[in-house]
Amino acid sequence: MGYLVQQLVLGLSLGALYASLAFGYSIAFGVTKRADIAYGGFFAFGGQIYVLFVDQGFNELRLILPAALAFGACVSFAYASGIGLFAGRHIMGPLVRVSPNAVIVAALGLLIVLMETARLASDTRDLWLPPLLAEPVTLVVIGGRAVQLTGMQLLNTGLFSILVATGHYILTRTRFGRHWRAVTEDPLAAGLCGVNAPKVFVVAYVASTMVAAATGMIATNYYGNMDFGSGIMFGLKVLLIAAVGGYGEPLKSAGGAAALGLAETLWGAYAPFVWRDLAVFSLLVFVLVISRRERVIP
């Protein structure tokens, strides 16, 4: 019983990561209505730039570690917001209005640019953070077995939860959230009602990239590194993960993604690990086939 509870707790930690990724992705999908693999690139790019500038701050600027971490986070957010603003205003926005299906191709190109930019900036070196809050914290003891998470896992789970809760509040309780919902339903009708649809599109895309970058930095603090090729893997995975709860509702998408993280952890605990990704992707495809309820997108 203690082993099962331990796996459930680990699954919740991974599920929180997937939930925040799916939530941010749904914000962008709501205005583009097209698969955007570049989101995984923003996730990886945020983590890579974070590690790069933490290294610069600690080794070149001689900052203490907390200051170096803050420096890396500020620079990563600045890069992510700038690239998100440029991509939303000059790439994705015009393409959605002229040729929406071209968004898929442009997203792949943007992903490659982000990956190569981070690789060249770090001179193709793998940079690692020191272990952070790695001491295990005992949550409960069941049958003589301690159920534990590290301090970083607890912190990350809390941060991911706050990220999703804050985003949900903004989308459901603020003026921007109402405008975002209107644009996702019908941008032309929203424009006729006085909503600046192009501006809402850009703000939503920037917000999505910021969530991706924040998630990437938080994940990097736990894993210690963000690989150059992880953008493609997470880009493909997020496309399917976000679909579990439905692309149109960010909170439902986050809930479905959290359930998937729990299922993935349980598979790794009780089934052959080598088949985990195959099983997870097969399950995702099966769920998408039998539960497809999205309206046809022109």
Amino acid 141: pLDDT: 86
Amino acid 293: pLDDT: 52
Amino acid 298: pLDDT: 45
pTM, to two decimals = 0.90
Kindly indicate whether the domain formed by 2-290 is annotated with CATH number 3.40.50: no
Amino acid 283: pLDDT: 75
* Domain range annotation of the chain: 2-290
> Is there a contact between 40 and 235 (Cβ–Cβ < 8 Å)?
yes
> Is there a contact between 158 and 20 (Cβ–Cβ < 8 Å)?
no
List average pLDDT for each run of 10 residues in the chain, which is 298 residues long: 86 90 91 88 91 92 93 94 94 90 90 87 83 87 85 93 94 94 92 92 95 93 82 75 71 85 85 78 73 49
